[in-house]
């Protein structure tokens, strides 16, 4: 759907960025050392590379674990874990302010779950940021690092050990706070609210529309909303909202007596009508291969034993809440033939569903995610744990950036740098992308400057003589540089999984819904991709500097 | 009898620079020095003469401005050389939130020593440095001497071949410094090489085979201690108990040969005299340096 995370594209970009970065670094250092030191310069660069390879080949898990353990012990003995206590106290008081027992259970769940997860994130993130940015600089300042690096401890082991240690602290806090938060949510909710704690597993379809003449359209009607996320169909016409579902084989089709779906349609009334009754809609199921179609009977009541007692061919849209729809398996078509929803309409896991609105001059509207097949729910704990894992991955990223920054500069500067990178990564990546990927009218910086002084408008062709060629080449390099630099900022939007959990959905691995929001696999991949380069950078920084407090 | 060099220092110069790369101090100037396997080598000099700087350059903690260092046959920047080195820093830079056992366990891990060996060796070393009663206390509660002792223990955790001690006896009580001297003797017996900086000249004289005296980064004196302390102009007699009349007779004999009896006392140490003389001369006549053949000459 929409912008899925493009894995192969990401991998290619990754390799090309890392490759060009390496190439640039090596070229610059070889050339620079040649200028400074003559022939011995490049040789020195080579010997540094050789030493680096040796160092990395001698990496020892035992030494890494020693540093990790040291880091954890330090945090514990220096009472950094007091934050956990702060968190518990905060929960005790937060109940008073958030208490709203009268509001509906769904709203309660949203508020409490979001509150707990955001609080956890906002407590852990600043703490690991500070810890990771001050660890190594403090080690250098009091020179305890001298006793470590005069042992056979390799510099990358220090970096990795520190990263693991701080992440472990973050993880530990995350686990403790997660459990406390979970218990707190359970206690705050009444019985009805607790029932709403679910992790729904949706299968989304691709949406399409037909207008009132029955002609295919990408979108429905705009009823005057500026934001065209949802578009509408008119009642009593040939207008339709159509969803094409795939991958329904995941649902156990053999034993079920219905297909569970959930709808969240919006209503637009052009006249008031009976406000006590909702707008009625109908659902048609269509076999995408044979085009066989029928009205789907919806289960309205079941007997004691749970068998279907009654079905209805239409349903009323209740706005601003989920409408649970059970499409009965037994379907009767226009000619009165009895059919099987799963056998006669689902074909290779695909099913088309068409929704129409019955009353004339009333409208219903929806966007892609507003109708989905609801696979059997997972326990709430699952989505909650996945949401926490998202916070954990974010923690790891911040730790890696913080530790790497702290190998270059002192604590305060490292903190500012890391904070800046996280801030840009969390809020400004999209903006950066639009700037860098935009087509630059009138060329890059130097060309623009030239055009301003030469009073040339952006469309004027420049003479293709050497000076202009060089100018454009330099500009091109500048843009290329900017394009690479933006990758310094990891795209943190993928890490925010809280909305899924709060809204009662399972956290998806891929295919984020809505598009451009979080998902687990992209955040895992981003983390993995950034981990090594940052660590290598930290290694070289520690290796090439005198570890003397200045 | 030329034995293997454990440390080779060639024309080593270190200039400390500030953040902007401006020259601050020339801490070491064209130092050339060898330390042989199995010897105890003493680095002497007034405060700020470059002793600690030399050790840090040897360990690769600092990078030389000029010149070269080879230690155990490897360049100083190779981390693998550390496997066989033990280092006691000038001030004991340890993690103050660890206790003695945890400290040794931590450094043992850095040598990739298996758990059981680590435990045994830690126990042995803690006992050796006399901290058994305090082994579970965090180092932040330790006194200076106690910290020094645990620092020494961590320097020996890997049973090193080369031990670099920066002022090992500073902060130690008389018993402690006595133990330290015994330890150095024991290490020497085991064929280990020891390089130490110290201001306690009596200690140095007792344990060191060779010494170097630095002054403001320049090497002033370098030789065997016994040779340096021999005053060719003086002959000292040491005999069994002599009666009064025999002493008078000896005096008579000496007089006859134009010499005089100067001292019939026990001999005393005079490394102190040598040190003070060197420093004083260096101040009066700057630029004079030690060169390979042993005689001081004026630097170019
Ligand atoms: N990190 C540093 N930055 C700038 N100058 C330094 C630094 N460390 C040492 N120095 C200078 O280098 C010179 C030699 O210092 P070093 O510590 O080697 O002396 P030392 O012989 O060990 O003295 P001490 O007997 O006091 O320990 C001194 O002038 C000192 O000020
Ligand atoms: Mg010193």
Q: Is residue A306 domain-shared with residue A173, that is, in the same domain?
A: no
Cβ within 8 Å, pair A66-B98: no
Q: Which residue puts its alpha carbon closest to atom 31 of ligand 1?
A: B48
Does A279 have pLDDT greater than 70?
yes
Element (H, E) at A407: helix A380-408
Alpha carbons B52 and B58: distance in angstroms, whole number: 10
Q: Is residue A362 domain-shared with residue A251, that is, in the same domain?
A: yes
Q: Label residue A350 left, alpha or beta by phi (over 0 means left) and psi (-120 to 50 means alpha).
A: beta
Does B120 have pLDDT greater than 90?
yes
Residues from chain B that touch A63, judged by Cβ atoms under 8 A, are 109-110, 112
- Supply the range of the domain harboring residue A512: 59-197+378-431+500-544
Average pLDDT for chain B = 84
**Model confidence pLDDT, tens digit, residues B165-222:** 999 888 888 888 888 888 899 899 998 999 999 888 878 888 888 989 888 888 888 8
Radius of gyration for chain B, computed over Cα atoms and rounded to the nearest angstrom: 22
Residues in B lying within 8 Å of A, measured between beta carbons? 18-19, 56, 59-63, 77-80, 82-83, 85, 87, 89, 91, 93-95, 97-98, 102, 106-107, 109-112, 138, 154, 158
Does B294 have pLDDT greater than 50?
no
Cβ within 8 Å, pair A142-B61: no
Q: Is B193 in the pocket of ligand 1 (CB under 6 A)?
A: no
3-state secondary structure labels for all residues of A259-285: EEEEECCEEEECCCCCCCCCEEEEEEE
What is the CA(A410)–ligand 2 centre distance, in A?
A: 25
What band does B156 get if pLDDT is binned at 50, 70 and 90? very high
Q: Is residue A136 domain-shared with residue A167, that is, in the same domain?
A: yes
Does A117 have pLDDT greater than 50?
yes
pLDDT given at position B1: 46
Average pLDDT for chain A = 82
Residue A322 within any structural domain of the chain: yes
With CA atoms as reference, the chain B residue closest to A50 would be B78
Q: Is residue A276 domain-shared with residue A384, that is, in the same domain?
A: no
Q: Is B19 in the pocket of ligand 1 (CB under 6 A)?
A: no
Cβ within 8 Å, pair A65-B80: no
Residue A15 within any structural domain of the chain: no
Q: Is B22 in the pocket of ligand 1 (CB under 6 A)?
A: no
Q: What is the mean pLDDT of residues A64-80?
A: 89
- Decide which of A344, A366, A388 is a domain's last residue: A366
Q: Is residue A289 domain-shared with residue A151, that is, in the same domain?
A: no
A450 — contact with chain B (CB < 8 Å)? no
Element (H, E) at B107: helix B100-110
Q: What is the mean pLDDT of residues A70-78?
A: 89
pLDDT given at position A327: 84
Chain-centre distance of CA A36, in angstroms? 47
What band does A33 get if pLDDT is binned at 50, 70 and 90? confident
Q: Which of A59-63, A196-200, B1-5, B146-150 comes out lowest in average pLDDT?
A: B1-5
With CA atoms as reference, the chain B residue closest to A79 would be B97
- Decide which of A366, A387, A416 is a domain's last residue: A366
Q: Which residue puts its alpha carbon closest to atom 24 of ligand 1?
A: B47
Handedness of CA A406, A409, A410, A414 (dihedral sign): negative
pLDDT given at position B125: 93
Please tell me which residue, A251 or A453, carries the higher pLDDT value. A453
The residue assigned the tokens 């000496």 is B254
pLDDT given at position A132: 92
ipTM: 0.82
With CA atoms as reference, the chain A residue closest to B19 would be A550
Q: Is residue A310 domain-shared with residue A422, that is, in the same domain?
A: no
What band does B108 get if pLDDT is binned at 50, 70 and 90? very high
Residues from chain B that touch A547, judged by Cβ atoms under 8 A, are 61
Does A531 have pLDDT greater than 50?
yes
Q: Is B52 in the pocket of ligand 1 (CB under 6 A)?
A: yes
Q: Which of A236-240, A436-440, B188-192 comes out lowest in average pLDDT?
A: A436-440
Of the partner residues A143, A152, A546, the one whose CB lies closest to the CB of residue B93? A143
pLDDT given at position A535: 92
A66 — contact with chain B (CB < 8 Å)? yes
Q: Is residue A190 domain-shared with residue A324, that is, in the same domain?
A: no
What band does A443 get if pLDDT is binned at 50, 70 and 90? confident
Residues from chain B that touch A65, judged by Cβ atoms under 8 A, are 109
Residue A106 within any structural domain of the chain: yes
Q: Is residue A107 domain-shared with residue A182, that is, in the same domain?
A: yes
pLDDT given at position B265: 53
Does A69 have pLDDT greater than 70?
yes
Element (H, E) at A92: helix A82-98
Residue A441 within any structural domain of the chain: no
- Cβ pair A136, A162 in contact under 8 A: yes
* Closest of B60, B278, B276, B91 to residue B167, by C-alpha: B91
Query: What whole-number percentage of chain A has pLDDT above 90?
Result: 16
Does A97 have pLDDT greater than 70?
no
pLDDT given at position A253: 62
**Model confidence pLDDT, tens digit, residues B79-90:** 889 999 999 998
With CA atoms as reference, the chain A residue closest to B105 would be A66
The residues near A516 (Cβ < 8 Å, ≥ 6 apart) are A2, A3, A493
* Closest of A368, A471, A342, A270 to residue A3, by C-alpha: A368
Residue A399 within any structural domain of the chain: yes
pLDDT given at position A209: 86
A63 — contact with chain B (CB < 8 Å)? yes
Which domains are present in chain B? 5-230+268-298 (3.40.50.300), 233-267 (no CATH)
Residue A307 within any structural domain of the chain: yes
Q: Is residue A190 domain-shared with residue A255, that is, in the same domain?
A: no
**Most B CBs within 10 Å, among A56, A151, A154, to test the B interface:** A151
Question: What does the block give as tokens for A314?
Answer: 């239409």
**Model confidence pLDDT, tens digit, residues A127-164:** 889 899 998 999 999 899 999 999 999 999 999 999 99
Cβ within 8 Å, pair B79-A55: yes
With CA atoms as reference, the chain A residue closest to B104 would be A66
The total number of structural domains that make up chain A: 2
Residue A146 within any structural domain of the chain: yes
Q: Is B16 in the pocket of ligand 1 (CB under 6 A)?
A: yes
Q: Is residue A389 domain-shared with residue A523, that is, in the same domain?
A: yes
A138 — contact with chain B (CB < 8 Å)? no
Q: What is the mean pLDDT of residues A409-424?
A: 89
Cβ within 8 Å, pair B89-A66: no
What band does A23 get if pLDDT is binned at 50, 70 and 90? confident
Q: Is B53 in the pocket of ligand 1 (CB under 6 A)?
A: yes
- Decide which of A366, A389, A416 is a domain's last residue: A366
Q: Is residue A104 domain-shared with residue A171, that is, in the same domain?
A: yes
Residue A84 within any structural domain of the chain: yes
Does A392 have pLDDT greater than 90?
yes
pLDDT given at position A252: 66
Of the partner residues B82, B89, B95, the one whose CB lies closest to the CB of residue A152? B82
What band does B278 get if pLDDT is binned at 50, 70 and 90? confident
Chains A and B: how many Cβ contacts under 8 Å?
81
Q: How many residues does chain B have?
A: 300
Q: What is the mean pLDDT of residues A60-73?
A: 94
Q: Is residue A392 domain-shared with residue A535, that is, in the same domain?
A: yes
């Amino acid at each position: 759907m929409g912008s899925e995370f493009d894995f192969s594209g990401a991998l290619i970009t990754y390799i090309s960025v890392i490759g060009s970065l390496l190439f640039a670094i090596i070229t610059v250092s070889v050339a620079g050392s040649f200028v400074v030191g003559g022939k011995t310069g490049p040789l020195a660069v080579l010997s540094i590379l050789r030493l680096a390879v040796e160092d990395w080949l001698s990496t020892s898990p035992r030494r890494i674990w020693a540093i990790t353990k040291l880091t954890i012990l330090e945090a514990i003995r220096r009472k950094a874990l007091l934050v956990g206590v702060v968190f518990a106290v905060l929960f005790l008081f937060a109940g008073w302010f958030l208490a709203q027992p009268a509001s509906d259970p769904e709203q309660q769940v949203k508020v409490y779950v979001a509150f707990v997860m955001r609080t956890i994130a906002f407590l852990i993130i600043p703490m690991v940021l500070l810890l990771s940015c001050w660890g190594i600089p403090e080690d250098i300042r009091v020179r305890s690092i001298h006793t470590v690096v005069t042992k056979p401890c390799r510099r990358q082991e220090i970096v990795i050990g520190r990263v693991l240690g701080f992440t472990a602290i973050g993880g530990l806090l995350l686990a403790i706070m997660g459990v406390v938060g979970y218990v707190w949510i359970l206690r705050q909710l009444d019985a009805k609210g607790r029932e709403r704690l679910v992790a729904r597993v949706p299968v989304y379809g691709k949406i399409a529309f037909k207008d009132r003449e029955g002609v295919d359209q990408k979108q429905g009607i705009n009823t005057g909303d500026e934001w065209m996320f949802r578009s509408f169909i008119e009642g009593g016409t040939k207008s339709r909202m159509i969803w094409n579902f795939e991958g329904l084989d995941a649902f156990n089709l053999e034993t079920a007596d219905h297909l569970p779906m959930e709808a969240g349609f919006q209503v637009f009334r052009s006249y008031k009508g009976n406000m006590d009754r909702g707008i009625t809609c109908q659902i048609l199921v269509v076999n995408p291969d044979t085009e066989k179609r029928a009205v789907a009977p919806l289960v309205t009541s079941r007997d004691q034993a749970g068998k279907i007692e009654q079905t209805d061919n239409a349903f009323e849209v209740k706005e601003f809440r989920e409408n649970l729809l059970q499409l009965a398996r037994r379907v009767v078509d226009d000619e009165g033939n009895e059919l099987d929803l799963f056998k006669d309409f689902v074909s290779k896991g695909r099913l088309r569903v068409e929704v129409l609105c019955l009353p004339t001059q009333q409208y219903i509207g929806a966007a892609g995610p507003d109708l989905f097949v609801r696979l059997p729910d997972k326990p709430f704990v699952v989505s909650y744990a996945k949401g926490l894992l998202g916070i954990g991955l974010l923690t790891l990223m911040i730790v890696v950036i913080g530790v790497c920054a702290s190998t270059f500069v002192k604590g305060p500067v490292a903190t500012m740098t890391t904070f800046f990178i996280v801030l840009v990564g969390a809020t400004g990546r999209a903006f950066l992308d639009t700037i860098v990927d935009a087509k630059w009218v009138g060329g890059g910086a130097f060309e623009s400057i030239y055009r301003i002084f030469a009073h040339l408008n952006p469309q004027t062709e420049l003479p293709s003589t050497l000076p202009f060629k060089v100018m454009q080449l330099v500009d091109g390099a500048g843009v290329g540089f900017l394009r690479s630099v933006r990758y310094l900022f990891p795209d943190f939007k993928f890490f925010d999984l809280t909305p899924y959990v709060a809204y009662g959905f399972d956290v998806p691995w891929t295919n984020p819904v809505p598009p451009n929001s979080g998902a687990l696999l992209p955040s895992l991949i981003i983390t993995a991709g950034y981990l090594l380069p940052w660590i290598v950078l930290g290694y070289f920084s520690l290796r090439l500097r005198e570890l003397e407090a200045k | 009898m030329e034995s293997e060099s454990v440390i080779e220092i060639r024309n080593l110069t270190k200039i400390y620079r500030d953040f902007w790369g401006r020259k601050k101090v020339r801490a070491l100037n064209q130092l050339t020095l060898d330390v042989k396997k199995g010897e105890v080598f003493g680095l002497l000099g007034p405060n700020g003469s470059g002793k600690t700087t030399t050790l840090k350059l040897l360990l690769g903690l600092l990078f030389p401005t000029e010149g070269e260092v080879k230690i155990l046959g490897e360049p100083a920047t190779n981390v693998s050389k550390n496997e066989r080195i033990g280092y006691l820093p000038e001030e004991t830079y340890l993690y103050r939130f660890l206790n003695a056992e945890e400290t040794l366990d931590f450094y043992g891990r850095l040598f990739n020593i298996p758990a059981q060996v680590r435990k045994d060796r830690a126990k042995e070393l803690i006992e050796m440095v006399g901290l058994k009663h305090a082994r579970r206390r965090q180092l932040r509660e330790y006194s200076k001497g106690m910290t020094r002792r645990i620092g020494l223990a961590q320097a020996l955790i890997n049973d090193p071949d080369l031990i670099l001690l920066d002022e090992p006896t500073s902060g130690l009580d008389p018993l402690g410094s006595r133990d330290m001297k015994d330890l150095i003797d024991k290490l020497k017996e085991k064929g280990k090489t020891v390089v130490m900086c110290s201001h306690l000249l009596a200690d140095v004289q007792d344990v060191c085979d060779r010494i170097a005296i630095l002054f403001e980064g320049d090497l002033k004196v370098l030789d065997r201690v016994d040779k340096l302390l021999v005053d060719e102009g003086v002959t000292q007699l040491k005999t069994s108990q002599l009666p009064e009349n025999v002493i008078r007779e000896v005096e008579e004999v000496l007089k006859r040969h134009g010499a005089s009896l100067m001292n019939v006392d026990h001999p005393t140490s005079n490394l102190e005299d040598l040190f003070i003389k060197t420093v004083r001369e260096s101040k009066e006549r700057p630029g004079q340096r030690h060169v390979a053949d042993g005689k001081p000459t004026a630097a170019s």
